[in-house]
Amino acid sequence: MREIVRIRARRRDISKGGLEPLPEWVRPIGSNIVEVAVPLDDSRGRRFVRRLRFLNRALARRVHYSAWAERDYDEKELHGAGLLRIVIESTFEPRGEDCRTRFDSRQECPDCLAGRVVIPPLRLRKSTLPRNADIAQTIAMDESVITRRLGKLLRKARLTGFTLGPIACGGRTRVLDWHHLVVHGDAGYLVQPSSFGSDPVDVRRGDDRLCKTCRRSRGLLISEAYVSRDKWDKSDVCITRDVAGLGMGCVRPSPELLVSQRAYAVLRKANARGFRIEVAHVV
């Protein structure tokens, strides 16, 4: 397994903070964004994040950046995994709530914002659904969609743990090429040595952001995922009871999405897109 950390920041924040000229390992992505992609244990990633944090304090929290780990595996590692984590990379807006989706908020945590449930149908804007993905999510991070094509293949393989909900556009439900992906398979809680924090390169001791109110949300999952064999209900498509992500602005913490080897085989055969795959350990 090869691990890299990817850090992205806005170029104008970097300019405001006087960090230019940039070293050659900070690459521009288009005209607005700069990126650092280095091995996880490379000190340049840590240095860059620390400088961004320093700028954030100096510029009154107006510096935005994101940092996450990406892991590459060989075939043997992927085929030997107990479960596989789906990290959805294809995102779109507007969110369901901007399109008048209704939610059951009875279980929603007032602090971390996790736990709301869509009252079907999920309402979205048809023109914004991605054209080059099979699984995607809105920028709220707790509304996932799957193409009719892939949904049909998962059903045909008799995979368990999910239902395909309707998506409505405009005033009424329409037949679309997409379904709302509703996962009820239960992977239980993430267990040790899963680790959490605010970013993957600068994990501070005790930086566990366990929500004091609902005790489900813990900041970002920064290690690979580990779940307990006894708690996983053996569904092919399942979610963790923990939610990850930082609930702020329009973004909601959401559970980790995991799939079995059987489901992974269907995704591979279908050449499904819109996500990356990580090994998840069943211990």
Interface residues with Zn ion (CB under 5 A) are 109, 111-112, 211, 213-214, 217
Burial class of 103 by CB neighbour count within 10 A (0 to 12, 13 to 18, 19+): middle
Measured distance CA(45)–CA(39) in Å, rounded: 8
User: In the bound complex, what is the minimum distance in angstroms from residue 218's beta carbon to Zn ion?
Assistant: 10
Residue 214 or residue 227: which is nearer to Zn ion going by CB? Answer: 214
Residue 180 or residue 252: which is nearer to Zn ion going by CB? Answer: 252
Q: Which residues contact 166 (CB under 8 A, 6 or more apart)?
A: 120, 121, 122, 173, 179, 180
Residue 147 or residue 240: which is nearer to Zn ion going by CB? Answer: 240
User: In the bound complex, what is the minimum distance in angstroms from residue 221's beta carbon to Zn ion?
Assistant: 16
Residue 279's φ and ψ, nearest 5 degrees, are: -70, 135
User: In the bound complex, what is the minimum distance in angstroms from residue 109's beta carbon to Zn ion?
Assistant: 3
Residue 104 or residue 111: which is nearer to Zn ion going by CB? Answer: 111
User: In the bound complex, what is the minimum distance in angstroms from residue 211's beta carbon to Zn ion?
Assistant: 3
Burial class of 281 by CB neighbour count within 10 A (0 to 12, 13 to 18, 19+): middle
User: In the bound complex, what is the minimum distance in angstroms from residue 220's beta carbon to Zn ion?
Assistant: 15
Measured distance CA(56)–CA(103) in Å, rounded: 34
Q: For residue 200, what are its two tokens?
A: 């993957």
Measured distance CA(220)–CA(261) in Å, rounded: 25
Residue 22 or residue 246: which is nearer to Zn ion going by CB? Answer: 246
